[in-house]
Chains A and B, each alone.
Chain A
C-alpha cells in the first residue's frame, strides 16, 4: 500500500533523508523510530506529499505521489503531532470542511461515528479555543480518518491524550489495520511501538538502520530474542555504550 524507493530529501548541502526504501503492506502497522534529527518527520512529510522529495519515488496504493498526487492523497491520511485547527470553525465544521476537500458525501454519519468513538460527541459545536490539547488532537485524528483512508501516517499521535484516549487510539489503530489499512506510526514511545506495531523501521541521520517485522529486527539486534524494543533501539543506533557511560 505504501511503497518508498530511494527517497532522498536534501536542503542545500544537508541531506535529511538519504536513499530510503521500504514498503508497508495493507494491514501492517510500521513503527518509525529514531533519535531526534533522524529524518522521521521529513520522511513522513514527503510520504504525505506535503513537501516534494529531492529524489526517489513514493507510491500510495500504486499511485505516485509526485506524478499523480490527487489519486495518491485520496487514499492517504496524515495526522501531525501538533494539531493545527481553524480558529473560527467548530468541531463539526472542521469535519464538514475536510469532507469538502475529500468529497465525502456521507460525512455526517461518518463524523458522528468518529466523534462517538473519540468521545467527542458532546463537543461538536465547540471552537478549538474551547478544547483541551487532547481534544484538539482527537479532532485532528477524526479529520484524518473521515474519508476512510487506505494508508494512515501518524506522527506522535498520543501526545496530549488521556489514558482512555490512548487506549482508544491503540484499539483504533489495530482495528484500522484489521480492516486492511496500512499505517505508519512515528513515535518516541517505544512501549507503544512494541505494543501496537507489526513492523519496524529504525532511522538515524536520514539512513535506514533496520527494516522488517518486529520479530526480525529484534532477532537481528538481540541474539537472545528476549530483549525489549528499547534495548534493540539502543543497540541499533549504537548508543548503548554512551548511555551506560
Chain B
C-alpha cells in the first residue's frame, strides 16, 4: 500500500471538494437523462420544459432589455445615496447578529460529509475551508448565474458582471464575517462571557456608539418638512449631511468599501472599488481561520436536525417530528365499532394537541369576538365586507388546493399497505380510514373560514339581495357540502396513488427536476378535469331543485334544499369512489406494483 504524504493544506481539501461536487453533478445529470427513457419521465420533462420556457425563460429574456432601460431612469441623486444606505443596513445587520446569535458554532456539513471528513486526516482549518467552499456554491449561483441571467444591477448603470462580482464579494464577506463572529463569540463564551451578558454588553455598546455618532449631528437629524420631499435633492442633502459627518462617516467607511463594487456605475469606478473590498474579504478570511474554535458537536447536531427536516419534507411534513413524547388521545377509542374511526384516532394523535375540537371551538369563539370588535368600529361595514370576502376567497382556495397539499398523507399509504392488507379490513374500509383524517382536518378548517366569513357578512347587514337570513342559509348549505366535497377531492390523488403507484411511489428519491415538475403539472390537469366531471351531476340537480324550490317556497328553503340535494349526489359519488378505491386496494399486489 502506498500512502503519499497526506497534506492538510487547502489544496487537499479543495481537490476533494471539487471531485465530490463534479462527480455528484455528473452522476445526477446522467441518472436524470437516463430515466427519460421511461415515458412517465419523458412526458413530465416535456411538460415541465414547456412550462419553464413559456412562463419563466421567455418572459425573463424578453424583459431583460426593457428592464435595463426602465431601471436606468432612477434619479442619479438617489443612486449616490445607496452605498451609504446599504452600509447603514449592514451595520444594523451586524449589530443584530451579535445581539441575537446564540452559543455554539455550526458549519454547514451534511451527515455524510461529517462521517467522511471528520475522522479524516484534515485539520480544523481544512474543515473550515471545506465549509467555506461549500457555501461558495450557493453564493456563486446566486450572484453570477442568477445575477447575469436576470441582468440584476442594471439600475446602477454598471455592467451586470460588475454587479454580480460585487454581490459575490459582499455575500462571501458576509458568510466569513458571520462565521468569524460566531467563532469569536464562542471564544468569549469559553472565557466566561455567556450569551445574556454578551447581549447586554452589545446593547450598551450599540447605544454608546449611536450616542457618539449622532450627538455631534443632533441638529440635523430631524426630517425635512414633508412638503419639500417632492424635490429629491432636499432628501439627498439631508441624508448626506448625516452620513458624511464624522464619526459616523468613519464608522461607515469599511462597510461602504464592502458594498462599493455593487454600486459602481462604470468600469473605472468598479476597478477603484475592488481593492478595498478584496482587502476586507482577505481580512475576514484571516479572522475566520485564526479565531477558530471547536465546532464539531454543534455541527453534528445541526446536521442531524437538517437530516430530520429533509426526511420530514420528503414525507410531506413541514417540520421534523418532535421528540417522542406521549400525546394525549383526541378521544377515547372504544375496542369495538367502526374500524375507520381508529384511523382518524391515530391520525389526530399523530398531528398533535393543536388539532383538537376544543382548539377549534376556541378559534370560533375568538373569531366571533374579533368580528364583534370590528363591528363596533365606525369603519365597520367596508371592513367587514372586505374581511368576509377575503376569508371566503381563502376558503375557496383551500377547498381547491387543500387536497393537493394533503395528498402526501394518502400517498404514504403505499409505505405500509402490506401491513394494512394483513388486517381483517376490506379495501373500502381502509380507503375510508385513510381519508378520514385529512378530510376532518380540511372540513374543520373550511368550516372555521366559512363561520368567520358568514359572521362578517351578517354583521355588515348583508348587501343587496343577500340578506342576513339568506347568508346564514348559504353558509349552512356550504357547510353541508364541505365534507363530501373534501372527501371526493382527496379521492382523486388517492386514486392516482393506487392506479399509478410508480409515479408517486414514496421513498424512491429523485423528487426534483423539471421532469418531476412536469409530472405534477400533468397530475394537476387530470385532477381539475376529474373534479369538473364529478361536480357536474351535483351542480345540475341542485340547480334544478333550487329553481323549483325558489319558485315554490322562496330563496331560503331553496338554498338549503339545493345544498341537501348536492350533498346527497356527492355522497353517492363518494360511496362509488370509495368502492372503486377499495376494490383497487383489495387487488393491489404490493410485490409487483412497487418494484
Q: Which of B7, B23, B31, B294 has the most CB of A within 10 A?
A: B23
Report whether B296 and A105 are in contact in the complex, using a CB–CB cutoff of 8 Å. Answer: no
Report whether B2 and A100 are in contact in the complex, using a CB–CB cutoff of 8 Å. Answer: no
Can you identify 22 A-B contacts, CB atoms within 8 angstroms?
A50-B114, A51-B297, A69-B121, A70-B121, A77-B119, A80-B115, A84-B111, A84-B112, A84-B114, A86-B24, A86-B112, A89-B23, A90-B27, A96-B23, A97-B116, A101-B12, A104-B1, A104-B4, A129-B508, A129-B509, A140-B115, A147-B3
A73 within 8 A of B: yes
Mark interface residues in B108-145 (1 if CB within 8 Å of A CB, else 0): 00011011111111111000000000000000000000
Report whether B7 and A103 are in contact in the complex, using a CB–CB cutoff of 8 Å. Answer: yes
Residues of A within 8 A of B4 (CB): 103-105
Report whether B294 and A52 are in contact in the complex, using a CB–CB cutoff of 8 Å. Answer: yes
Report whether A49 and B118 are in contact in the complex, using a CB–CB cutoff of 8 Å. Answer: yes
Number of interface residues of A (CB under 8 A): 41
Given contacts A80-B115, A100-B15, A147-B3, contact A89 B121 (CB under 8 A): no
Given contacts A84-B111, A86-B20, A97-B16, contact A73 B119 (CB under 8 A): yes
Q: Which of A74, A88, A103, A127 has the most CB of B within 10 A?
A: A88
CB neighbors of B among A43-99 (8 A): 48-52, 69-74, 76-78, 80, 83-90, 93, 96-98
CB neighbors of A among B1-31 (8 A): 1-8, 12, 15-16, 19-20, 23-25, 27-28, 31
B300 within 8 A of A: yes
Report whether B3 and A105 are in contact in the complex, using a CB–CB cutoff of 8 Å. Answer: yes
Report whether B20 and A89 are in contact in the complex, using a CB–CB cutoff of 8 Å. Answer: yes
Q: Which of B27, B117, B124 has the most CB of A within 10 A?
A: B27
Which residue on chain A has the smallest CB distance to residue B28? A88
Report whether A71 and B121 are in contact in the complex, using a CB–CB cutoff of 8 Å. Answer: yes
Min distance, Cβ B73 to any Cβ of chain A, angstroms: 46
Q: Which of A73, A85, A90, A101 has the most CB of B within 10 A?
A: A101
Q: A135–B176 Cα gap in the complex (Å)?
A: 39
Report whether A97 and B19 are in contact in the complex, using a CB–CB cutoff of 8 Å. Answer: yes
Task: Taking A83-B115, A104-B1, A110-B1 as given, write out 4 further A-B residue pairs in contact, using a Cβ cutoff of 8 Å, ordered by the A residue number.
Answer: A73-B119, A86-B24, A103-B7, A106-B2
Q: Which of B7, B118, B509 contacts A87 (CB 8 A)?
A: B509
Report whether A127 and B31 are in contact in the complex, using a CB–CB cutoff of 8 Å. Answer: yes
Residues of A within 8 A of B12 (CB): 100-101, 103
Q: Which of A69, A83, A105 contacts B2 (CB 8 A)?
A: A105
Number of interface residues of B (CB under 8 A): 38
Residues of B within 8 A of A85 (CB): 112
Residues of B within 8 A of A90 (CB): 27
Residues of B within 8 A of A89 (CB): 20, 23-24, 27
Report whether A103 and B5 are in contact in the complex, using a CB–CB cutoff of 8 Å. Answer: yes
A102 within 8 A of B: yes
Report whether A148 and B3 are in contact in the complex, using a CB–CB cutoff of 8 Å. Answer: yes
In the A-B complex, the 4 residue pairs with the smallest Cβ-Cβ separation, listed nearest first, are A88-B24, A103-B6, A84-B115, A78-B119
Residues of A within 8 A of B20 (CB): 86, 89, 97
Residues of A within 8 A of B111 (CB): 84
Report whether A101 and B24 are in contact in the complex, using a CB–CB cutoff of 8 Å. Answer: no
CB neighbors of B among A99-142 (8 A): 100-106, 110, 127, 129, 140
Q: Which of A77, A103, A129, A147 has the most CB of B within 10 A?
A: A103
A143 within 8 A of B: yes
Residues of A within 8 A of B508 (CB): 129
Residues of B within 8 A of A143 (CB): 116
Residues of B within 8 A of A106 (CB): 1-2
Which residue on chain A has the smallest CB distance to residue B18? A100
Min distance, Cβ B301 to any Cβ of chain A, angstroms: 10
Q: A52–B116 Cα gap in the complex (Å)?
A: 17
Q: A-contacting residues of B (Cβ < 8 Å)?
A: 1-8, 12, 15-16, 19-20, 23-25, 27-28, 31, 111-112, 114-124, 294, 296-297, 300, 508-509
Q: Which of A84, A86, A97, A102 contacts B121 (CB 8 A)?
A: A102
Residues of B within 8 A of A48 (CB): 118-119
Which residue on chain A has the smallest CB distance to residue B296? A51
Report whether A50 and B300 are in contact in the complex, using a CB–CB cutoff of 8 Å. Answer: yes
Min distance, Cβ B592 to any Cβ of chain A, angstroms: 20
Given contacts A89-B24, A106-B1, A127-B27, contact A101 B116 (CB under 8 A): yes
Report whether A101 and B2 are in contact in the complex, using a CB–CB cutoff of 8 Å. Answer: no
Report whether A96 and B112 are in contact in the complex, using a CB–CB cutoff of 8 Å. Answer: no
Q: A104–B2 Cα gap in the complex (Å)?
A: 6
Report whether B24 and A76 are in contact in the complex, using a CB–CB cutoff of 8 Å. Answer: no
Which residue on chain A has the smallest CB distance to residue B293? A52
Residues of A within 8 A of B119 (CB): 48-50, 73, 76-78
Residues of B within 8 A of A104 (CB): 1-4
Q: A80–B15 Cα gap in the complex (Å)?
A: 25
Report whether A93 and B23 are in contact in the complex, using a CB–CB cutoff of 8 Å. Answer: yes
Residues of B within 8 A of A78 (CB): 119
Which residue on chain B has the smallest CB distance to residue A80? B115
Residues of B within 8 A of A102 (CB): 3, 6, 120-121
Min distance, Cβ B12 to any Cβ of chain A, angstroms: 7
Residues of A within 8 A of B120 (CB): 73, 98, 101-102
Which residue on chain B has the smallest CB distance to residue A106? B2
Which residue on chain B has the smallest CB distance to residue A100? B16
Q: A129–B23 Cα gap in the complex (Å)?
A: 16
Which residue on chain B has the smallest CB distance to residue A90? B27
Which residue on chain A has the smallest CB distance to residue B111? A84
Q: A87–B310 Cα gap in the complex (Å)?
A: 13
Q: A104–B8 Cα gap in the complex (Å)?
A: 14
Min distance, Cβ B274 to any Cβ of chain A, angstroms: 34
Residues of A within 8 A of B114 (CB): 50, 84
Q: A143–B23 Cα gap in the complex (Å)?
A: 17
Min distance, Cβ B341 to any Cβ of chain A, angstroms: 36
Residues of A within 8 A of B509 (CB): 87, 129
Q: A105–B191 Cα gap in the complex (Å)?
A: 44
CB neighbors of B among A135-188 (8 A): 140, 143, 147-148
Residues of B within 8 A of A87 (CB): 24, 112, 509
Residues of B within 8 A of A148 (CB): 1, 3
